[in-house]
Structure 1
Amino acid sequence: MEYKFREKLLKEGLRTFISIPFNVWEVCGQKGLIPVKVSIEDSTFECKLVPKGNGNYYIPITMAILKNLNLKEEFNISFELIAALTRINNKSPYSLENPIRKIDNIKIIQTQDGLCGQACVAMLAGVKLEEVIKLMKAKKWQASLSKVIETLDYYGIAHSDKMVYKLKKDQKLPKCSLINTKGHLMLFYDGKYYDPSNGILEEYDHQITGYLEIVL
């Protein structure tokens, strides 16, 4: 079934989204990170809807799509549910039963701004950054959260079904987590923060907007 509506783009920090103007849980009958095929005017792409709580969802917009759109305009938008994304993990040699590795340590990868998502995946998978960039087909600022999660699936890295938002004060993070800090991604592992921009940190003073648990 195709769901249609008109909406403008929404900026949050360095990221761009489209807010879906209805309760996805109630209308579509699904929860979690939902894979969809999206059409915006003449552009068509696959992604996973970003849950914002209580059935509210965003469609993440990559830089490649954004460059063809005007932030001030309202667009004809449609999406349909699909069984799974096909961009990255369609022909993966890995699975949850046969992951690329057992995560019992993290080696820091520091890189340029705009490659934090790719670096986080590379640290978890234990592979080179260049391999992840090639696999994701995502250069600077092109690694949407949905692409990051799909690449984790490619490597067979187990994770929770959805990001946890609305963190409580002094929220205790799982032993291994992918952390979102207003559009910047980094890892938390065994009490330390692995930031692609700043290295290994004992403490992190900025606001954490959400996390995805990596299941060890």
Structure 2
Amino acid sequence: MVYEFTGYLFQEGQRAFISIPFNVWEECAQKGNIPAEITINDFTYECKLVPKGNGNYLIPISKVNLKSISQDDNNVNVSLEIINGLTRINNNSPYSLENPIRKIDTIKSIIQPRNGLCGHACVSMLTGISLDEVISLMGSQCCSMSKVIEALDYYGINHSKKMFYNLKPDSILPKCCIININNHYILYFDGIYYDPAVGTLEKVDMNEIVGYLEILAQ
């Protein structure tokens, strides 16, 4: 069922929200993190509604999505439909393993503008496209490795099928990989560490590495 209403945009930090003017628990018979397809004026996207307790929910709008919404003021037309799950971002990709976005032979260091975008920055460095474009694809929230892998698949970037764990101090890293250091992702390529928080590094403490995902550079 599609619910339509007039909403009011309000800002909190780097994100904008719209309050849903009805009790979602009662109206939609749904609780928890609820996936939905949202249309605001003429812009459509998917998201998970933000619970505020007792059936009250907010519609989140990332900074990137907000730029895509045409508006004359903060009052907007909203269409909301509850869906079974968010569409995987690698659906309908123009890229593939046979036709990747680029050949990975060099890396340009990218610094994340705020905490939580390290995974996005690693994808941006590997693909050679802007961080803003990656955020538009992946969303602006802090992401898990599974989300990073979805983005790599979307861009046709080949990678190992699983993470490698339990490294030793003398372990040798592959030529290219995304490294997890206590849930902070950095990129390693051809002897250089590219940390989205600080820039390039010549070495890291191998004892701090939780694991890595090998990138099978073309």
Q: How does 1:64-143 map to 2 (within 5 A)?
A: 68=51, 86-111=87-112, 112-139=114-141, 141=142, 143=143
CA deviations 1:56-102 (Å, max 9, x no partner) are xxxxxxxx97x7599xxxxxxxxxxxxxx842010100000000000
Question: SS at 2:147's partner residue?
Answer: helix
- With structure 2 as the length reference, what TM-score do the two structures score? 0.60
Question: CA separation in 2, counterparts of 1:154 and 1:122?
Answer: 12
The aligned length equals: 143
Question: CA separation in 2, counterparts of 1:189 and 1:134?
Answer: 25
Q: Which residue of 1 aligns with 2:187?
A: 187
Percent of residue pairs identical: 58
Aligned residues: CA RMSD = 2.4
Structure 1 residue identity aligned to 2:170: D
Structure 1 residue identity aligned to 2:210: T
Structure 1 residue identity aligned to 2:138: M
Structure 2 residue identity aligned to 1:196: P
Structure 2 residue identity aligned to 1:201: L
Structure 2 residue identity aligned to 1:121: V
Structure 2 residue identity aligned to 1:138: S
Question: SS at 1:109's partner residue?
Answer: coil
CA deviations 1:140-199 (Å, max 9, x no partner) are x2x111111100000000000011011123110000000000100010000010000010
Question: CA separation in 2, counterparts of 1:178 and 1:187?
Answer: 5
Structure 1: 5+ residue runs without aligned partners?
1-39, 46-63, 71-84
Structure 2: 5+ residue runs without aligned partners?
1-29, 36-46, 54-85
Question: CA separation in 2, counterparts of 1:93 and 1:150?
Answer: 14
Structure 1 residue identity aligned to 2:106: N
Question: SS at 1:193's partner residue?
Answer: strand
Question: CA separation in 2, counterparts of 1:41 and 1:215?
Answer: 41
Match of residue 43, structure 1, among 30, 33, 36: 33
Question: SS at 1:186's partner residue?
Answer: strand
Question: SS at 1:188's partner residue?
Answer: strand
Question: CA separation in 2, counterparts of 1:119 and 1:42?
Answer: 30
Q: Which residue of 2 aligns with 1:207?
A: 208
Question: SS at 1:133's partner residue?
Answer: helix
Question: CA separation in 2, counterparts of 1:181 and 1:120?
Answer: 13
- With structure 1 as the length reference, what TM-score do the two structures score? 0.61
With over 3 angstroms needed to count, the CA separation of the structure-2 counterparts of 1:41 and 1:162, relative to structure 1, is farther
Question: SS at 2:208's partner residue?
Answer: coil
- Rg larger in structure: 2
Q: Which residue of 2 aligns with 1:178?
A: 178
**8 Å contact kept, 2:89–2:137:** yes
